[in-house]
Chain A
């Protein structure tokens, strides 16, 4: 992280401020040139027209060809074709390689052309968008492409910003301009930009704009979206500019009538364009393997060519010495002849390189992506959203995933908190309505403030509330309405609540529906409407939540004059502060346990009446503590604690963090498929563990290890005996890890040091250039390690053991950790930053050569998504950023199951079958050439007709292969889902690896041997009508045998027979018939006898029964043994899993007692209190920074409710801290703004979650009397600053005790060490609950 910061700083220093923009001065900008390609100099300042299209009409052919020949395989074939052009070494007819290559080039070029035409279209649409540009003295409607740097542009409401420009003025007060950046970063909340005061004041009319002569000096165009430094020089004054003054291309102007801007970067220089086009293509394991195998085949060909040439070197002596009839043909020296022949062989055997494989594979990938897009079972109707494969080259990898890294909020959960149950005065109130009757009629119709969305309804409770008899019930709801830090605003007669955490909002909303409506708040009052009666409570003190206190209290004076303390908090904290412990407390405690059992988030509510004297004594202490400059947090803590004693318990609430549909089932299914699931969340451990239980990731019989235990395990990990012990423990228990972000920090040391391992995606914005290289290195390293692994497990064992000794301790620790974690059933990482998320993925990728998948929905998951082998974005509420960086887009988490188990498995199986068959087919048909060389004196005579070679891979054998790749199904989708165990094959690379490849090659070789040598044997024994087998008939017999053999093989391979399949096979064979009769026809022979020499060869061959008999024999001999082998193998392998099952059952029996004992040891988990782990806004509220006393004001604090709020104990890692200075400057400006002319400002609910937290404050300036001085702005900003920074600092101080606290409360040590701990009566609780309910 630190180096990233350094990098950023350095970049700042390095940036030369050489970009000069003069307003309204065309000629000035025109004169500058910069070095372009070769000596051709381009304009320095580009026009605003963008060209994302690669080609134009003239450049298409040359450029596209140039690009295509960048591919190694194409280049290789071009080389071969050039070689073929030399008559000395040409062994194949010219068209044999030329035709397929041209075909492939044309197919690919067509695809590129179609893509490019689309790009041209969209470019045209964008370039021709209208905008108003200042020309002369007035604004004229022009097109975007006419825009130049230095132009002044007028933008209206809802128009899109055409270029990066400096905001000069707007019609809003203080020259504010609101923009929506949904197209840039996907965040839908409004942001604002502000013009410099000087331009705002001066440039008030087009005339003045036209005479504007300012010069902007700034950095060269760069890709940093959130960074801009520059200055404006005007009238001999310099004003500094930052990103807050800049309107970025692609933003939409909102809520601002008109604004004016000066274009600074245009077209491709704009920040958004600079950020485009850096697409890192991820490649799959199979893809890499494929390339390697092709290279292997190539090397094989070279070696075989050398050997055959060697054979020729012997033969040529004989030819020259004895065979007088060819003597004159071998006129050169032996060495020269051999040299030429080597190339001849290279050409001859080049048909064995599966050239067509790549392009067919591309089609297969594309097709499978379409099937993903088309799948109705992954279509989410509420959002009208099908699944989408954004990357079309990763499908097979979906079938090999071994690790899933999942975000929590918004991915596993819906991030919707629902008020589920409550326990008031010992009675449990459940919702009467479980089946959605509520949706039909609103039971809260009597309450004008009800929002009608509450899912909770209990008739009995409603009666009690309306009856106003039970004070406990009254106080319960009152507490929920008073004790919180929610902000309220009124819009269209509707109350809108803005809370720091969704839990709080749920509670306040529940209170509101039950008639205790939180209406408005000022700095020191809270207004409620209690069952229609408005009551104003005076707030005496607000004791905010933090993670140490785990509670929040509000001290109020009610309208009657009594002082009351309302407290809500975690059960452990509240229960120990109670005044007395009676029956109610006990039943409440049991209710809490029951709630927790149902993985609900619970909260205890308590209150007490405070005597006037007590308050008077306490008040000065409080004041004093508030004013302390040092250790204020500590002091306040103590003061609060003093007040929060002797409470009276009111009850408890239970909130459901609603899981997405089908999450537990999906996780269970994926676990069965041997996929390890890691949850990476910024949330606190309690919530994460709670969710872990809710979604069945964790179960009761699991051993949960946390930081300390892991540390101990890791320290002794490489100690043999310890390791044995650890393993023993692991095999006997289901283990889950719960890790904190802090722990990860200590762990991920070497990875952090290793910049390339960081998979750079995490820092893609900062250094895009170097990135490509480093990624390559990293991939290279991975590839090599993968290769080693594949070569043989036995081989790797020793080097890795040796390397372990050489490894640095950090690396060993990391390795140990990954080893450990890989043996666990579940891993949950809490409080991790986005960066750490990516690091964890990188860690696993580094030490385990496995396929990783990351799934998330928010901007904080982007790093992780980019780092993982496969990134899946959930299209949720959190904007589109995750989606835009992902490879696959899903609407719901549960579709992951289908994506992996069905589509992934199918794709993998298809590609594997395709590869296996393709290699087989190529070898089976083409290897005969090698055998033939041994019979013709090693002279590289081709065996087959040139046309057969040319069309074999294109027409005769392509369609069935394509069918396998697109439609093959070994089992149906339903069965795939029912039997997740089938997925394991992909993880183990079982369907295609080196041994399968070897198998395919050997199989192919056998086929070719049979196909070739049977005719040889028959022919040497034959004398038939006309002549014994001549060269052409012989070639035809081998060719037909080969073609039929591979066709029969494909018939055996295909398990899913449809009409399409029959069609594809019939078409292929039909193509052979048609094309052969064409190329062997008299008509073509007459046109060019040299090109079509095989006149009627097939006809003559097939009219001889012997040829037919030989062909039948060949095909049978090729097919039947293989078939028998498969049948026997199938029958035998059926038995194997049965044998394996038996011992596993025994094992389970042995484990059983231990599990039971564990279960007993686990204490009830119920400290999952409903707070976000961030502090609320009590400080801001009480200090009055953002509140004014006047009524009817519109106040809105829109903090970021995101849970991804980074571990506060690492302020330096706080991603938001990069932006803190900026944020503060914005805050300062906001302060400033209320001195300007007032106008009513709209309130913008800020619901989106942002990584960069930014408090957007809308203030009513009307009651401000302070003069507009910078000093006031400064002071305000500093106080804001404090407000923002006090949180982390406090946490740092107290984080240690808090963690201990948590441990003692929730996980009392390691359960297996403490078998004597009393067993909570978990089974009895529900019964009691029930009785309470019925009473």
Chain B
């Protein structure tokens, strides 16, 4: 409290704009002059944006193939049947054949999609140790309790990387083969598997533990791989920049999905002859079918897609923008009608005042 001691009265309150609640203010009225243009402008902008989105989304090509092998359909049903009820399922290969009548413009992205897979289950989602993944040695030796029951192996060794997420790493692999002429040989299309993870994840968040004697294997000595893994983490890839915790596939997998149906990027096709896209011809995708999803009624999809400025194919967003834009214009007209309808009264009011 600040009392000003003036000559007139010791208790006289200050005469300031603040204390007298007379701060200079703007009292906007939601008048037709402001709101109507706002609505029409917003509506037009949204419709414009929506059209752009819609067309660019429509321009995007997408090919997808469900290779789960449910109900004996498709090439992979054999693998699916073989893996039924066996854990871990045996390694199996199958293929997806498709042909392109015209060029599939690049850059082409290869995704895999899993459905009904709850990566956002809370117990699953917390079952990881970010400290361990950031390369802290102490955390490597002593994984966080959240990782349990994938914290320590049966022999009591710390598991690296610990936790359920890492344990359930997606381990199907794909190779793409191109047949230029019918009956011709299949040529492998080079898949760019680098930079499929977030730059910050790959470069900052995930770090290998410091090398011991220049060897990653030694750094991971005394740890056990997750139970479902066939090889230790330092052998994920022969590329030293893509192995250990900074294996791109692993990093992508560790960034858990928000919803039970999700796509993750597998590779990009942008090298060699294929930098402009996939030319017309027949194609074969060789699939190493390892990952069991039929147990929980899930599906595995493989997707080829190109992207535009706003990302992948997404007709919904464009439509949503169009709808919202027209809604704005509609509301604008309703308001206009209301204003016109009650305009006379307003005028009268003004006259009265």
A contact residues vs B (CB 8 Å cutoff): 87, 91, 318-319, 322-326, 328-331, 344, 370-371, 373-376, 379, 381, 384-386, 906, 935-937, 939-941, 967, 969, 973, 1014, 1016-1035, 1055-1060, 1082, 1085-1086, 1088-1090, 1093, 1095-1096, 1099-1100, 1104-1106, 1109-1110, 1113, 1116-1117, 1120-1121, 1123-1124, 1126-1128, 1130-1132, 1134-1135, 1138
Contacts and interface: CB of A to CB of B under 8 A. Distances in A.
A1220 B229 CA distance: 100
Given A319-B121, A325-B164, A384-B12, 12 more contacts: A323-B117, A325-B124, A330-B123, A385-B11, A906-B21, A935-B120, A1027-B262, A1029-B257, A1031-B255, A1113-B324, A1124-B334, A1127-B335
Contacts of B12: 376, 379, 381, 384, 386
A1007 B204 CA distance: 35
Contacts of A1134: 342, 345-346, 349
Contacts of B10: 384
Contacts of A967: 21, 23
Given A87-B145, A1021-B315, A1085 B164 contact: no
B204 A1095 contact: yes
Nearest to B131: A1089
Contacts of B200: 1095-1096, 1099-1100
A1058 B24 contact: yes
A1124 B122 CA distance: 40
Contact of B150 (A328, A376, A1057): A328
Nearest to A1095: B205
B289 interface: no
Contacts of A379: 9, 11-13
A329 B262 contact: no
B55 to A, nearest CB: 15
Interface in B155-176: 164, 167-168
B122 A940 contact: yes
Given A940-B122, A1026-B265, A1135 B345 contact: yes
Contacts of B24: 1058-1059
Contacts of B53: 1109
Q: Please name the 9 residue pairs, one residue from A and one from B, whose CB atoms are nearest each other, closest first.
A: A1034-B258, A1023-B312, A1024-B311, A384-B9, A1089-B130, A329-B123, A374-B19, A325-B168, A941-B122
A1021 B262 CA distance: 10
A1021 B134 contact: no
A924 to B, nearest CB: 19
B16 to A, nearest CB: 9
B36 to A, nearest CB: 9
B303 A1127 contact: no
B264 interface: yes
Nearest to B352: A1138
Interface in B76-134: 87, 109, 111, 117-125, 127, 129-131, 133-134
B246 interface: no
Interface in B225-268: 252, 255-265
Contacts of B264: 1027-1028
* Chain A, interface SS category: helix
Given A1109-B310, A1127-B30, A1127-B335, A326 B124 contact: yes
A969 B21 CA distance: 9
A1031 B335 contact: no
A1120 B42 contact: yes
Given A1024-B312, A1117-B324, A329 B317 contact: no
Contacts of B8: 381
A379 B19 CA distance: 13
B263 A1016 contact: no
Given A937-B118, A1124-B334, A1031 B265 contact: no
Nearest to B262: A1028
B14 interface: yes
Contacts of A906: 21
Contacts of B262: 1027-1030
Contacts of A1029: 257-259, 262
Contacts of A371: 19, 21
B111 A939 contact: no
A1021 B317 contact: yes
A1031 B13 contact: no
B320 A373 contact: no
Most chain B CB atoms below 10 A, which of A935, A1023, A1095: A1023
Interface in B298-318: 303, 305, 307, 309-317
A1058 B25 contact: yes
A1121 B326 CA distance: 12
Contacts of B196: 1026
A976 to B, nearest CB: 11
B316 A1017 contact: yes
Contact of A1055 (B27, B62, B263, B315): B27
A1060 B338 CA distance: 34
A675 B267 CA distance: 76
B209 interface: no
20 contacts: A322-B296, A370-B1, A374-B13, A375-B19, A936-B125, A1021-B314, A1024-B314, A1026-B196, A1028-B257, A1031-B125, A1033-B258, A1034-B258, A1057-B27, A1058-B25, A1059-B24, A1090-B131, A1096-B204, A1100-B198, A1131-B342, A1134-B346
Nearest to B133: A1089
Contacts of B204: 1082, 1085, 1095-1096
A1031 B23 contact: no
A1110 B311 CA distance: 12
Contacts of A1126: 30
Contact of A1020 (B150, B164, B259, B310): B259
B20 interface: yes
A1031 B317 contact: no
A1031 B258 contact: yes
Most chain B CB atoms below 10 A, which of A319, A325, A374, A1126: A325
A937 B117 CA distance: 10
A1117 B42 CA distance: 11
Contacts of A1035: 258
A1016 B120 CA distance: 14
A1057 B198 contact: no
Nearest to A940: B122
A1229 B304 CA distance: 112
A1033 B200 CA distance: 13
B331 A1124 contact: yes
B339 interface: yes
Contacts of A941: 120-122, 125
A1032 B120 contact: no
Given A318-B296, A1029-B258, A1014 B320 contact: yes
B268 to A, nearest CB: 10
B144 interface: yes
Contacts of B255: 1027, 1030-1032
A647 B305 CA distance: 120
Given A1023-B313, A1030-B256, A1089-B130, A373 B13 contact: yes
B37 to A, nearest CB: 13
Given A1016-B259, A1022-B311, A1128 B324 contact: no
A1086 B131 CA distance: 8
Contacts of B296: 318, 322-324
Given A326-B124, A1130-B30, A1110 B317 contact: yes
A1264 to B, nearest CB: 50
A373 B12 CA distance: 10
A1018 B317 contact: yes
A1056 B324 contact: no
B283 interface: no
A1024 B307 contact: yes
Contacts of B316: 1017-1018, 1021-1022
Contact of A1116 (B42, B125, B303): B42
Contacts of A1124: 35, 39, 331, 334-335
A782 B253 CA distance: 60
